[in-house]
Structure 1
């Protein structure tokens, strides 16, 4: 389910997480060569991504759990 990024924070290991409008967080690591997100390393890069929509897997899972009888 698409959710907008409303902020960023770091987890216990200092990895960046996007705070989503639903209240969930999603990691947005820069971990080349697997994942290249150099924008997460700067305040300007993160600010430019505010409002961007990400798929929230936790919302999808909750929706699926609630749909089952």
Structure 2
């Protein structure tokens, strides 16, 4: 299920995590050659991806939200 990115935060290892509209979180690493996401390395790049839709596997699995949507 496609969900828009609503924000970002860093985890305890300083990896970037996308916050999705559904309440789930998803890591968005730039780790070439496996994952090429150079936009994640800068604030401007991350801001440009707000609203971009990612496939949320947690939604597809029916998992509870990672955070409150209040």
The TM-score normalised by the length of structure 1 is: 0.87
Partner of 1:4: 4
Deviation at 1:42, TM superposition (A): 0.4
Structure of higher CA gyration radius: 1
The TM-score normalised by the length of structure 2 is: 0.86
2:38 & 2:52 partners in 1: Cα distance?
16
Partner of 1:37: 37
CA offsets per residue over residues 7-50 of structure 1, 9 Å max, x none? 00111111101000011000100011111111100000000000
Q: Give ranges in structure 1 of 5+ residues lacking alignment.
A: 64-69
RMSD: 1.1
Q: Give ranges in structure 2 of 5+ residues lacking alignment.
A: 64-70
- Report the structure, 1 or 2, having the larger helix content: 1
Moved over 2 A (4+): none
